[in-house]
Amino acid sequence: MAGNPFPQSKEQLLQAYRTMRTIREFEERLHIDFGRGDIPGFVHLYAGEEAAGTGIMMHLGDGDRIASTHRGHGHCIAKGVDVLAMMKEIYGRKGGACEGKGGSMHIADLDKGMMGANGILGAGAPLVCGAALAAKFRGKGEVAISFVGDGASNQGTFLESLNLAAVWNLPAIFVVENNGYAESTSRDYGVAVDSYVDRAAGFGLPGVTVDGTDFFAVHEAAGEIIARARKGGGPALLECKMVRFHGHFEGDAQTYRAPGENEHNREHNDCLKKFSAAVTSAGVIAAAELQAIDHEVLGLIERAVTEAKAAPQPTVADLLTDVYVKY
Ligand SMILES: Cc1ncc(C[n+]2csc(CCOP(=O)(O)OP(=O)(O)O)c2C)c(N)n1
Ligand SMILES: [Mg+2]
């Protein structure tokens, strides 16, 4: 094997691939199971967007906090939330990350610094200001990261949070996951500026735009922003341009897409294909090593679904537990 031309070690590259592949297979399986009518509630899939969550979260530890969105499965997996507990949660079963009472849009795991997915657009950004303020007082160099979609980036909560984070010089990072749509509305219909870097500048924050389907670009940009925030350098905005492979929600007929758009994205904008091509052509990882990971991941997802289906549903008595957080 040739030398490693990437800034990441081989171990880190394998970890990145495993995380992205786990998210992809988790989501593709949900797509199938939701279609069969096995899953209650609403489901929004992160397939196609894996490089963003993965490239960012690899820089974080459990003490760093994130606030996610309605499209949160990938953020959870990349932040280290247990995949078996996540599947149970989405199936609405006891033993789930929130004992089966939250479902797809409310997965949280405070021990992992995952403050929660969120069905309310823009709700994560103020939470992250609070978490970042606490981190600043603790003085251990922790950061807090808010994820927001291009549509939700118009919410007042998000814009106020940018201002607050800048005024207080918080170790807060705002990631705009720009997949080009808010439900069926094209981004250009709803956001006046072309670049989120300009929008960040209006609030006094530095901003960077990267190709969110390129793991290496995301990892590098996020690394710089996070390292600066850890040292007291203040907040920043990171825009990741990306594509979502599925509809806005499962069941979306996607009539707003151009003909062949999904096929084009799967062929040319697949972050996993790009990553695999880069590491194998550089001779750093053999295709067989990636295939071995694929095999393991499929086994994990199969086990997660089997365990979720076998787990009991919450009882009426469970309605009264975990209503208030105990400190
Ligand atoms: C405050 C609020 N307004 C509206 C909605 C309904 N809603 C759910 S997702 C969505 C679009 C979100 O688009 P974007 O922020 O780009 O995220 P994406 O779904 O593309 O990941 C809307 C309007 C909501 N959940 N919360
Ligand atoms: Mg969007």
Identify the pLDDT of residue 13.
98
- In testing the pocket of ligand 1, which one of 68, 183, 239, 249 has its CB within 8 Å of the most ligand atoms? 183
Measured in angstroms, how far is the CA atom of residue 137 from the centroid of ligand 1? Answer: 32
Of the candidates 71, 219, 209, 212, the one whose C-alpha atom is nearest the C-alpha of residue 151 is 71
Name the one residue in this structure whose structure tokens are 């901003």. Answer: 207
Q: Which residues are CB-neighbours of 225 under 8 A, at least 6 positions away?
A: 173, 206, 208, 236, 238
How does pLDDT run across 207-217, given as a tens digit for each residue?
999 999 999 99
Give how far Cα 228 sits from Cα of 8, 29, 141, 158, 307, Å: 19, 38, 10, 21, 42
Give how far Cα 85 sits from Cα of 13, 17, 81, 103, 298, Å: 25, 21, 8, 11, 16
Q: How much is the mean pLDDT over the chain?
A: 97
How does pLDDT run across 249-266, given as a tens digit for each residue?
999 999 999 999 999 999
Q: At what angle do helices 10-35 and 287-310 cross, to 10 degrees?
A: 40
Cβ–ligand 1 contact at 33 (below 6 Å): no
The parts of the chain modelled with pLDDT lower than 70 are 1-2, 326-327
Identify the pLDDT of residue 323.
83
Task: State the pTM of this model.
Answer: 0.97
Measured in angstroms, how far is the CA atom of residue 26 from the centroid of ligand 2? Answer: 20
Structural domains in the chain, CATH included, are 29-308 (3.40.50.970)
Percent of the residues in the chain that have a pLDDT greater than 70, as a whole number: 99
- In testing the pocket of ligand 1, which one of 70, 120, 250 has its CB within 8 Å of the most ligand atoms? 70
